[in-house]
Chain A
């Protein structure tokens, strides 16, 4: 019932995954350490662009708009931390499965490249979104990041994962047919 041993993915793949996890750790630490400075910077940048955020000069109205933008700014940083930690692990696990079980070199390389590029790029979309909110607002920032990062990189990771599922299914079915 037990199969052969695991094969390690290529070192550059491991390097990208571990660097991503390290970025997530540093991001989490920086988020806590510089929380006030980051919020102050975001608030100052938004106040310098009243038209972008629809600020009208009435304190009660403006504070509500600024608060909502700051909550999203903070959420973007947190989501970067979470996704970078998670995707780093997923890259290591899934490329290890790919290296061990996908026999054809073309598919093995394609799946690994898509998982690594997609998985490593995707979390940075949250960081970019946070950075864009003070300059372009919540909705415009989100739209920009969706097209620049989340759809291409997230799409690559999803395609790679289903290609891996397909390769494993073919192999499993082949083993079922073999007497």
Chain B
């Protein structure tokens, strides 16, 4: 099997490294993450709609902290899971897809797609800075949807190209 370009490999391995490091923020460093999250919520009371009512505000804070932790958790799982898929898809492109231009486009889409999990970091941070709903919406609109679409497009195009290659290799009847 042929290797995809070094930049695609570098991006995928960096995502795995970031994903593994994020795992540490879910276990031994969790208290520090919660402290940071609560600090950011306190610094942005308007964005979170804090009212000064202890019971209501505690509920809002808990939901925002949960969203931030969920963002890190999604980042951990997606970075560790998607990067090997991107490397595998890149290897198939390098080995099977003919034509430099088509391969180049697919490499570009796959490299962008490999960055998709970073959307969950934006999700976690934006939920703390702009409020849960606005933060999640921002991450989805500007990061998760475009980068996820790039990965989906690349994989669909690869399916089509593999289908075409399989048909071309069938002996004529």
Contact = CB atoms under 8 A, between A and B. Distances in A.
Given A2-B103, A3-B94, A164-B13, A86 B7 contact: no
Contact of B24 (A1, A5, A100, A154): A154
A143 B57 CA distance: 32
B17 A164 contact: yes
A93 interface: yes
B104 interface: yes
Interface stretch (B80-88, B132-140, B141-149, B155-163): B80-88
Interface stretch (A26-34, A43-51, A57-65, A155-163): A155-163
Contacts of B9: 97, 101, 168
Nearest to A158: B20
Interface in A2-45: 2-6
A165 B84 CA distance: 15
A178 B27 CA distance: 43
Contacts, number: 81
A153 B7 CA distance: 28
B16 A3 contact: no
Interface in B57-106: 80-81, 83-84, 87-88, 91, 94, 100, 103-104
A2 B16 contact: no
Given A94-B16, A161-B17, A165-B13, A6 B91 contact: yes
Main secondary structure of the interface of A (DSSP, over half): helix
Contact of B3 (A2, A154, A157): A2
Interface residues of A, number: 29
A2 B28 contact: no
Interface of A: 1-6, 86, 89-90, 93-94, 97, 100-101, 146, 150-151, 154, 157-158, 161-162, 164-165, 168-169, 171-172, 175
Please provide the 6 A-B residue pairs with the shortest distance between their CB atoms, ordered closest to farther.
A161-B17, A3-B3, A168-B10, A93-B84, A2-B94, A165-B17
27 contacts: A1-B5, A1-B104, A3-B5, A3-B94, A4-B3, A5-B1, A5-B2, A6-B1, A6-B91, A93-B16, A94-B16, A97-B87, A101-B6, A146-B27, A150-B28, A154-B20, A158-B20, A161-B17, A161-B21, A162-B17, A164-B17, A165-B14, A168-B6, A168-B9, A168-B13, A169-B10, A172-B6
